[in-house]
């Protein structure tokens, strides 16, 4: 078992050297890193908010617009529900976050009231006249929906900022419609702003074919800029904007500038919340970059119904109130998937796919405050944590030397060093953030790294006590200790994975370092140490083991 083939030796040394190179940027001074390629020098572990600080953003969530859009969608569903019961409808209009309904026949008032109350139990229905009614969500329900919008926004932002789950951003609700984001160790705050500020609200709407350029739209339609018109509007706005103006909304661009616009219906057929996946791809015929997407069951059913009933009509694909494409419906689309085409670059399709894959924000976000934040714990707490880590590591090293002698203690400590190098390499590749709980996980990893060697050495001692020779005792010790090592690491790894999956923030930091340490210790304490012991046995051929 201890005779390692030459190809395995070179493989083990190659993996170890590769991990050393990956972990090295964390130890090199800034002067040296400045002369190295960016792709290599930037391969470093990020310090968490408690150790390094980061970027602080305060976002304003436009919740009222979402609630008003819900009222518009509600108004579009009321008319067919009343007509199904034979009730003649005069008018249905959305008024802010409420809906006003007027019927033609006073005698049908009670029937209409019964139908309206059955639409949604969360709605309050008030009869304002013999033939008029008013529907609105109660104050309690509005507070509940407002909270849901904020919580959904936080989850979407968390997936965008931390897709791998290792950066440990802090996202919290502030006030009635605000979100505070703190991201540790951000090198490019502008990139974070673009990622956060991009609403990526995707919707599919039928185009208003009755609208003519230069004419006002109907009450059921809204005028939105096309992709080309929006780009033109941004250039004109940059040249004409006043100092007090911060941004241009797509919904105002058509009114303010003479640009290319498209009239689309206000009713949203399918929204971004019905998307289950999105990816960047290429059109097999033209070779142009495209974005493919998939709907959930409800979204696929709605999309199928509308495309079936509107063959030959243009269908507008709207992203953040900009019509990026308006293809004609040639046939019913009932497969639950589709593509977004346009004059996109490869980078734009990748960014769009990421935003859609992370999820559509339910509301528009506006950055109202941006600043950097310092370390929460302060220099004293950081210094205390580092001292505790160093002292713990030194004590483990001394324990191994005292318990198993200078030779086997050296082998175990060397395996521990390799294990820590591999942990740092893994954290660098993942871009993981190191927090104070993460440092505690590293200290625990040090103990776990030598724990496997303790099991092996104790088993070797038992085999020697049973009368086995040096080589036989080592071989038997490795074989019989392996199952205990796997069981111990696997059970702890399961706990680490569960903490990472269900925890957040510092808990994930602790789980990341602990899980990486357990995985790498299987390599360092069994494979790497076995290679060294095999080399030592072949070189010195000892008759007995002093262990």
Residues 454, 478 within the same domain: yes
CA distances (Å), origin 241, targets 203, 233, 245, 380, 426 = 29, 11, 6, 48, 48
User: What does the alpha-carbon distance between residue 206 and residue 329 come to, in Å, rounded to a whole number?
Assistant: 10
Residues 314, 396 within the same domain: no
Q: What pLDDT, on the 0 to 100 scale, is given for residue 263?
A: 92
User: What does the alpha-carbon distance between residue 316 and residue 262 come to, in Å, rounded to a whole number?
Assistant: 9
Please classify residue 367 by burial: count the beta carbons closer than 10 Å to its beta carbon, then call 0-12 exposed, 13-18 middle and 19+ buried. Answer: middle
Q: Is residue 259 part of a domain?
A: yes
Q: What pLDDT, on the 0 to 100 scale, is given for residue 245?
A: 60
Q: Is residue 344 part of a domain?
A: yes
Beta-bridged to residue 270, according to DSSP, are 204
Residues 418, 391 within the same domain: yes
Residues 41, 111 within the same domain: no
Q: What pLDDT, on the 0 to 100 scale, is given for residue 17?
A: 92
Q: Where are the beta strands (DSSP E) in 62-197?
A: 89-95, 98-103, 123-127, 132-137, 170-174, 178-184
Residues 403, 485 within the same domain: yes
The DSSP H or E segment spanning 436 is helix 436-465
Q: What pLDDT, on the 0 to 100 scale, is given for residue 188?
A: 62
Q: Is residue 91 part of a domain?
A: yes
User: What does the alpha-carbon distance between residue 343 and residue 349 come to, in Å, rounded to a whole number?
Assistant: 10
Q: Is residue 546 part of a domain?
A: no
Residues 445, 517 within the same domain: yes
Residues 534, 402 within the same domain: yes
Residues 90, 236 within the same domain: no
Q: Is residue 505 part of a domain?
A: yes
User: What does the alpha-carbon distance between residue 63 and residue 211 come to, in Å, rounded to a whole number?
Assistant: 30
Domain boundary among 326, 360, 394: 360
The DSSP H or E segment spanning 485 is helix 470-502
Q: Is the pTM of this model over 0.85?
A: no
Domain that holds residue 103: 64-141
Are 100 and 78 within 8 A, CB to CB?
A: no
Q: What's the CATH number where 343 sits? A: 3.30.1360.200
Q: What angle do CA 195, 197, 199 make, to 5 degrees?
A: 95
User: 338, 67, 367, 64: which is closest to 202 by C-alpha?
Assistant: 338
Residues 355, 206 within the same domain: yes
Q: What pLDDT, on the 0 to 100 scale, is given for residue 323?
A: 87
Q: Where are the beta strands (DSSP E) in 355-494?
A: 365-373, 433-434
Q: Is residue 59 part of a domain?
A: no
Domain boundary among 141, 159, 176: 141
Token pair 């060697």 is at which residue?
453
Per-residue pLDDT of the chain (547 residues; tens, 9 = 90+): 567 788 888 998 999 999 898 888 888 887 888 888 877 877 788 777 667 777 878 888 888 888 887 788 788 778 888 888 888 888 888 888 888 999 988 888 888 888 888 887 778 888 888 889 999 888 888 888 888 888 878 877 887 777 555 566 778 888 888 898 888 766 566 767 777 766 667 788 999 888 888 788 888 888 999 888 988 888 888 787 766 666 777 778 888 888 889 899 988 888 776 776 677 788 878 888 888 877 777 778 888 888 888 888 888 888 778 887 787 887 787 877 777 776 777 777 776 676 666 556 777 888 888 877 666 655 676 677 778 878 888 888 898 899 888 888 898 889 889 998 998 898 888 877 777 788 888 888 888 788 888 888 888 888 888 877 777 877 887 888 888 888 888 888 898 888 887 776 677 778 888 888 888 888 888 888 888 888 888 887 777 777 7
Buried b (16+ CB within 10 A) or exposed e, 196-213: bebbbbbbbbbbbeebee
Count of domains forming the chain? 3
Q: Is residue 409 part of a domain?
A: yes
Residues 400, 528 within the same domain: yes
Please classify residue 192 by burial: count the beta carbons closer than 10 Å to its beta carbon, then call 0-12 exposed, 13-18 middle and 19+ buried. Answer: buried
Q: What's the CATH number where 397 sits? A: 1.20.1640.10
User: What does the alpha-carbon distance between residue 308 and residue 283 come to, in Å, rounded to a whole number?
Assistant: 24
Q: Is residue 168 part of a domain?
A: no
- List the alpha helices (DSSP H) in 243-296: 250-256
Residues 319, 355 within the same domain: yes
Quick one: tokens of 329?
A: 């419906």
Domain boundary among 335, 360, 385: 360
Residues 396, 435 within the same domain: yes
User: 484, 481, 482, 513: which is closest to 496 by C-alpha?
Assistant: 513
Q: What's the CATH number where 111 sits? A: 3.90.1150.10
């Amino acid at each position: 078992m201890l005779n390692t083939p030459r190809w395995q030796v070179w493989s083990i040394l190659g993996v170890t050297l590769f991990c050393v190179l990956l972990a090295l940027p964390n130890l090199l001074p800034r002067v040296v890193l400045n002369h190295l390629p960016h792709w290599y020098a930037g391969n470093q572990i990020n310090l968490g908010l408690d150790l390094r600080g980061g970027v602080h953003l305060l976002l304003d969530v436009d919740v009222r617009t979402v609630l008003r859009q819900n009222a518009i969608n509600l108004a579009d569903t009321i008319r067919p529900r009343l007509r199904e019961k034979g009730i003649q409808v005069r008018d249905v209009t959305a008024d802010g976050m409420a809906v006003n309904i007027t019927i033609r026949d006073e005698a049908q008032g009670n029937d209409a009231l019964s139908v309206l109350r059955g639409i949604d139990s969360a709605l309050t229905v008030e009869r304002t006249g013999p033939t008029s009614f008013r529907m609105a969500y109660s104050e309690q329900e509005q507070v509940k929906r407002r909270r849901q919008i904020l919580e959904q926004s936080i989850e979407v932002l968390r997936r965008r900022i931390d897709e791998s789950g290792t950066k440990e951003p802090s996202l919290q609700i502030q006030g009635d419609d605000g979100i505070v984001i703190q991201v540790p160790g951000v090198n490019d705050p502008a990139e974070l702003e673009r990622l956060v500020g991009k609403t990526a609200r995707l919707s599919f709407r039928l185009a208003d074919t009755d609208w003519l350029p230069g004419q006002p739209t109907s009450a059921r339609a809204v005028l939105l800029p096309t992709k080309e018109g929006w780009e033109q509007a941004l250039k004109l706005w940059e040249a004409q904007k006043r100092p007090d103006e911060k941004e241009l909304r797509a919904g105002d661009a058509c009114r303010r500038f003479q640009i290319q616009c498209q009239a689309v219906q206000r009713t949203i057929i399918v929204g971004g919340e019905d998307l289950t996946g999105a990816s960047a791809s290429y059109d097999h015929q033209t070779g142009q970059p495209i974005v493919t997407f998939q709907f959930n069951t409800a979204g696929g059913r709605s999309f199928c119904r509308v495309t079936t009933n509107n063959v030959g009509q243009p269908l507008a694909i709207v992203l953040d109130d900009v019509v990026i494409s308006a293809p004609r419906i040639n046939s019913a689309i009932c497969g639950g998937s589709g593509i977004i085409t346009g004059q996109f670059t490869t980078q734009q399709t990748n960014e769009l796919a990421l935003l859609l894959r992370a999820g559509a924000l339910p509301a528009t976000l506006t950055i109202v405050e941006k600043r950097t934040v310092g370390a929460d714990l302060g220099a004293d707490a950081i210094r205390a944590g580092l001292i505790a880590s160093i002292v713990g590591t030194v004590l483990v090293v001394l324990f191994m030397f005292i318990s198993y002698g200078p030779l086997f203690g050296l082998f175990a400590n060397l395996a521990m060093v390799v294990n820590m190098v591999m942990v740092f390499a893994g954290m660098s590749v993942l871009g993981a953030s190191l927090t104070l709980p993460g440092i505690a996980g590293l200290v625990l990893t040090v103990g776990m790294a030598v724990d496997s060697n303790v099991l092996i050495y104790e088993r070797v001692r038992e085999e020697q006590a049973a009368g086995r020779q040096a080589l036989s005792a080592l071989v038997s010790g490795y074989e019989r200790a392996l199952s205990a090592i796997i069981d111990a690491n696997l059970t702890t790894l399961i706990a680490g994975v569960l903490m990472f999956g269900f925890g957040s923030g510092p808990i994930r930091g602790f789980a990341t370092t602990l899980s990486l340490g357990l995985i790498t210790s299987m390599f360092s304490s069994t494979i790497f140490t076995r290679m060294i012991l095999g080399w030592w046995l072949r070189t010195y051929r000892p008759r007995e083991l002093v262990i």
